[in-house]
Structure 1
Amino acid sequence: MEDLEDERSRDRPTVAVGAIVIEGDDLLVVRRARPPAVGTWSIPGGRVERGETLAEAIVRELHEETGLEGACGEMVGWSEVIDRGHHAVILDFRVHLFERVEPIAGDDASAARWVPLGDVTELHLAPGLAEFLHDHGIIPTIT
């Protein structure tokens, strides 16, 4: 019976979180080291683990992917990623850092860095990220 439940849960969407960290005029970004969207730049984030609150997931993912520590702030918005074999509902929150330092890539990130808000769209971004950031007033333009 447990194997059947595991199989059913793999067919369901996963809940994920994204950390929008802005310091001054810079946005914190990471290059994804694993699918989906491997090799693209995105905001730190990942799946919510069983028994974990959204705020706990944000703080954990931020630290795992960048080495930075912060507190979960207000929700910015949500999006969905649906592709072959993968469906995630992503809840994005602002994160307030305890201290701005240079990020160090770890876990699911191959690189992490601060990027001026006006330069974000010059990066090879994860699909839909530029539109999301623009629609929620994070970046001024998507072209």
Structure 2
Amino acid sequence: MRTVRDVPPAADAPVPVVACVGAVVFDPRGRLLLVQRGNEPSRGLWSVPGGRVEAGESVAAAVEREVREETGLAVRAGAEVGRVQVPGPGVVYDVVDLTCTLLDPAATPAAGDDAAAVTFADAADLERLTCTPRLLETLRGWGVLPA
């Protein structure tokens, strides 16, 4: 006997949308905060800190939590800079990127949670790092890449 769990979803069934956030954080030298992803999707690639919005959490609270978990840095969430939808395995990630201000500009980031490494990157660094697909193109389009 087949249960509902055994039945694959219909080909035309809507794909679940997962609410996510990303943080656009600059240090006092104008360098962009990046994490090297430690897990899939995009393991080993560089991206802005971020992740899923938890149930009942605002996007501001989510981005502040994600930055703290991934980098150890405390930030204050600011304005939305853009929104992208990223297809994933069986889901679509709806990512809202917010500007964030470092609460302690002298603090040193440290990789945590699902980050394998963390750095502040200037324009030259961004040229040599392997980033997640369309990250630089998207940030450039929003006007938030380091000069």
TM-score tier after normalising by the smaller chain length: 0.7 to 0.9
1-side partners of 2:54 and 2:38: how far apart? 19
Residue-by-residue CA offset, 1:85-141 (whole Å, 9 max, x unaligned): 231010000000111222100001010111113431321000110111110112268
Which structure 2 residues correspond to residues 1-143 of structure 1 after superposition, within 5 A?
11-23=15-27, 24-100=29-105, 101-139=107-145
Report which of the two has the higher share of helix: 1
Unmatched segments (≥5 aa) in structure 2: 10-14
1-side partners of 2:59 and 2:26: how far apart? 19
Q: Which stretches of structure 1, 4 residues or longer, exceed 3 Å deviation after superposition?
A: none
Identical columns (%): 38
| Count of aligned pairs | 136
Root-mean-square deviation over aligned CA pairs: 2.2
2-side partners of 1:121 and 1:92: how far apart? 21
Helix, strand or coil for the counterpart of 2:125? helix
Helix, strand or coil for the counterpart of 2:139? helix
Helix, strand or coil for the counterpart of 1:52? coil
Q: TM-score, normalised by structure 1?
A: 0.87
CA contact (8 A) 2:18 2:52 kept: yes
Q: TM-score, normalised by structure 2?
A: 0.84
Unmatched segments (≥5 aa) in structure 1: none
CA contact (8 A) 1:64 1:106 kept: yes
Partner amino acid for 2:86? V
